[in-house]
Amino acid sequence: MATCAQCKSFFPVPENADDFAPGKGDCVREVKDEKGKYWLSKPVVSDMDTSKCPFFSEKV
């Protein structure tokens, strides 16, 4: 089972952040539509199952 931690969109929350929790990260995705580019950041946990995530892309 692939997890969020293995995804290239996963960025761990630094330990000195207000919202730090072990395993917590930001899922940051770049989106492009006819109006331009934007980035979305959503809180996730490193061991979350990604089997239903359409955006999973393994880190290389």
Binding site for another protein (CB under 8 A): 11, 13-14, 17-19, 26, 28, 30, 35-43
Alpha carbon separation from 30 to 17, 21, 26, 48, 49 (Å, rounded): 23, 24, 13, 20, 21
CB of 2 vs another protein, minimal distance in Å: 20
CB of 6 vs another protein, minimal distance in Å: 16
Compare residues 20 and 47 and give the one whose CB is closer to another protein: 20
55: Cβ contacts below 8 Å, ≥ 6 apart: 7, 9, 27, 29
Compare residues 1 and 36 and give the one whose CB is closer to another protein: 36
